[in-house]
Each structure stands twice: as structure tokens, then as C-alpha cells.
Structure 1
Amino acid sequence: MADKCHMCLLGLILLCSLLTGTIEVDDNNKFCSSGKNVHLPCKIARSSCTSTSWTYSRQSETVELVYGGKKKNDIERHERLSLGSDCSLNIRNVTKDDYGSYSCQRYVNGQQQGTEERIYLHFLHVSVSPSSTQIRSGSSVTLFCQLYHDQVSCDTLVRAEGVQLIWVNQAGEDLQTDSRYQISPPGHCNSTLTTTLLDEDNNTEWRCLVTQRNEAKTSAAYIVRYSGYNLCMSLK
């Protein structure tokens, strides 16, 4: 009983740290979910940001976001970007479109100085099947958790970076050991949770959590809400 309470407490502390709204950066792989704010530092920047540039790339697309310390006005995400006083790049209200590679460079008289600093932003998303209008208490539901990544393979994230996807309840307890849930085995950048809905599942939250070397990074939640015989879904 004491061990279970200890796990619950750890889970609550873990979830509280994830819900503060801003994701802190500590290495070159960053993790985010919908609606969060992300801070990307530029360690090669100097006291003045007039020589700082930021570019974004995913697959074959490359977009210049900041040049000479000024945001580009002709990019779709312009209003959600800001440059910090330390030349960091801040992204507000992150969406799936933001995952990819971000590079910070210094230019003096049009010439790049030193090497670029690259940060990989990965996006966590949860979806449900069947749709919310088709499921009700007593029916089976499957949640799909996917970590979108680019230019860094899933194998590298899992084996070299120690990344895992874990399903937890609203108390932060790992659902892997609960026989009510069928969860795909860890070790991949996607995971599924399948269960049969109960009457008492109204307003219940299940959360897909990303950890890196056993440290929580971000999460995406699914909340069950009953209205009559229908189930409403909320993702955050």
C-alpha cells in the first residue's frame, strides 16, 4: 500500500511538471505537444542578435525564420514566433506543423561564422478510434499515440536517446501493469492503448507520456466525457 501511494505521489509530481505550459530545453532533441510553448536557445549567439539567423527544415523544405535578428514577415507562423533577448527562438502554441529541425547560425558581413547549432523538435499526438460519436459505455476504444520526428530516426531516439512512450492515468500511475488495458510494447515511436469503456469512465483522463532517460518531457491527453449515450473527446 505504501509503495502504491509513493508511486501515485511521484505520478502527480510528474504530471504537474508537464502541465506548466513551457518546455525547457536541455539537449538537441526537444519534445512538445499541441498548445505548448517551446524555448529553443542559440548557444553560439553573442551579446547582439543582429548577426543571428534561424532556419527551419523538414524533409526537403527549408524556411528562413529569422535573419539579422529580425523575424521574417512572409512566413505562416510569424505571429507565433519571437526572438528572445539571448537570441533564443520562442514558439507559442505549438502545432503539428512545427516539428522538424531548427538551426541557429551567426553571420557577419554575409559570411557564416563557425558551425550551426541544430535542434530537433518532435511532436506528440494522441488520436482515437472509432470516432467520438460512435463509441459509448460498453464499447471498445483504441487510443493511438504517435511521436512525429524528422531527420532523427526512431531507432536513434529509442536506443541512443532513451526515449519511451508510456500510458498513465490522471494520478500518474503506469497503465502497463493493469490488465484492463491492452498496450503495445515499448520501444517504438508509436503506441496504442485499447480498453472497454465503463460507466465510471466519464471525465477520466488517459495520458501518453514521453520520457527520455526516465525524465518526463511532454505528454498528450485523452479525456472521456459522456453526454447521454455519446462520448466526447478532448485532446490537449
Structure 2
Amino acid sequence: VVITVMKLIFLCHFETSFYVRDGAEVSLPCGSLIPSQDKCQYTTWNVHHVKKISAEELVAHGKISPNEFAQANAARLSVTADCSLVIKKVTAEDAGRYFCQQFKSGQRQGSDAVVYLRLTSPLCPQVRKTENVMSCLKYLNDDLRNNRNFLLLAQSNHGELDG
């Protein structure tokens, strides 16, 4: 189950949140691309993990960064043709704020595309999932700004909730 939430922040700056379960695969979109890139050559992805003080570079110039952290996770990371960051087998350690940035001739271009990756856990696994039954998901305590827990409800058929 992947739930996507988008918020409009200030003047046309978008934040996107993905809520995924442990072990899922997720594709984080880069919403601020320089057009006509060759293999995402202008794209850099960084992450600020929930439990870490500083950000880590994951992708530089469209390729997995050579740093120790990125290389330790290289088997689970990839970049798509549209410069999205794919993370396979998501773990709790992957939760955090991801930044897609564009650099051309060493200069940052435009604003960062910010994507929050948050993990969920089933609250009521005893509920049998049918088309008419909602699944309960607890958003784990990894909010970078508010340090709170949230309760999310999603239809088991991945549809939108009414009301």
C-alpha cells in the first residue's frame, strides 16, 4: 500500500509525502527537473533521515553517489529515466525528507523538490480486507517537524476516501 499526499506550500512549491509499509518499493518523483537531461546528469538526491543530524547524498549527476552510505544501500537504490529515486525493500531507516536538486555548471537551478517518505504499520491486521472495508494504518512516529503519531485510513482497493 502506497499512499501519496501532496501539499501546496507557499508559491507553487510542492511537498509530497509517501506512506509505505516496511519492505515495499517506492518511486520518489523529482518535481523540479531541468528539461532535456541526458541520464539525469543535472539531478542530485539527498536525504535527511529522521534519526540523523545531517543529510546524506544518495545520487549525484544521476548516478548512485560514491560515498559510503549510498554505496551501502546501492543494491536498493536506482534512478529512473524521469529522474525519480526508486527505493526497494524500504526499511524504517529510510524514513525521512528527500530533496531532489538540479545543478547545471555547478550552480543550483530552481527550488528543491521535497519528498517525505514515511512508514506505516497495520493497526488492525485482524480486519479482513474486502472492497468495502477500510484498512487501518498507523503512521509511525518519524515526523521530522512535529514528532507526532498519525492515523491514516485507506480503502483496501487503494481508492480515495469520501467525506
TM-score by length of 2: 0.67
1:56 alignment counterpart: 47
Deviation at 1:148, TM superposition (A): 3.2
1:113 is paired with a residue whose SS is strand
Deviation at 1:165, TM superposition (A): 3.9
Indicate yes or no: 2:82 matched with 1:77.
no
CA contact (8 A) 1:40 1:90 kept: yes
Q: Number of aligned residue pairs: give it.
A: 130
Asked which structure has the greater RCO (Cα within 8 Å, sep 6+), the reply is: 2
CA contact (8 A) 1:101 1:118 kept: yes
Indicate yes or no: 2:82 matched with 1:86.
yes
CA contact (8 A) 1:47 1:86 kept: no
1:110 alignment counterpart: 106
Instruction: Say if 1:60 and 1:90 are closer, same or farther in 2 by CA, change over 3 A.
Output: same
2:36 alignment counterpart: 47
2:24 to 26, 30, 36: 36
CA contact (8 A) 2:26 2:88 kept: yes
Instruction: Compute the RMSD of aligned alpha carbons.
Output: 3.1
What are the ranges of 5 or more consecutive residues in structure 2 without an aligned counterpart?
Answer: 7-15, 124-137
Indicate yes or no: 2:113 matched with 1:148.
no
- Percent sequence identity is 30
2:13 alignment counterpart: none
Deviation at 1:29, TM superposition (A): 1.4
Residues in 2 aligned to 1:116 and 1:41: alpha-carbon distance in whole angstroms:
12
Residues in 2 aligned to 1:71 and 1:32: alpha-carbon distance in whole angstroms:
22
Deviation at 1:214, TM superposition (A): 3.6
Instruction: Say if 1:91 and 1:34 are closer, same or farther in 2 by CA, change over 3 A.
Output: same
Deviation at 1:146, TM superposition (A): 5.5
1:141 alignment counterpart: none
1:105 is paired with a residue whose SS is strand
Residues in 2 aligned to 1:34 and 1:111: alpha-carbon distance in whole angstroms:
36
What are the ranges of 5 or more consecutive residues in structure 1 without an aligned counterpart?
Answer: 1-17, 128-144, 159-163, 173-210, 216-236
- The one-letter amino acid paired with 1:83 is V
Instruction: Say if 1:78 and 1:44 are closer, same or farther in 2 by CA, change over 3 A.
Output: same
Deviation at 1:147, TM superposition (A): 1.1
- The one-letter amino acid paired with 2:32 is I
Instruction: Say if 1:26 and 1:80 are closer, same or farther in 2 by CA, change over 3 A.
Output: same
Larger helix percent:
1
Residues in 2 aligned to 1:42 and 1:25: alpha-carbon distance in whole angstroms:
14
Deviation at 1:61, TM superposition (A): 2.5
1:151 is paired with a residue whose SS is coil
Report which of the two structures shows the higher radius of gyration computed on alpha carbons. Answer: 1
Deviations 1:8-40, CA, capped at 9 Å, x for gaps: xxxxxxxxxx3xxxx364521110111100010
2:9 alignment counterpart: none
1:97 is paired with a residue whose SS is helix
Deviations 1:68-113, CA, capped at 9 Å, x for gaps: 1111143221110000000000000101110000000000111101
- The one-letter amino acid paired with 1:31 is Y
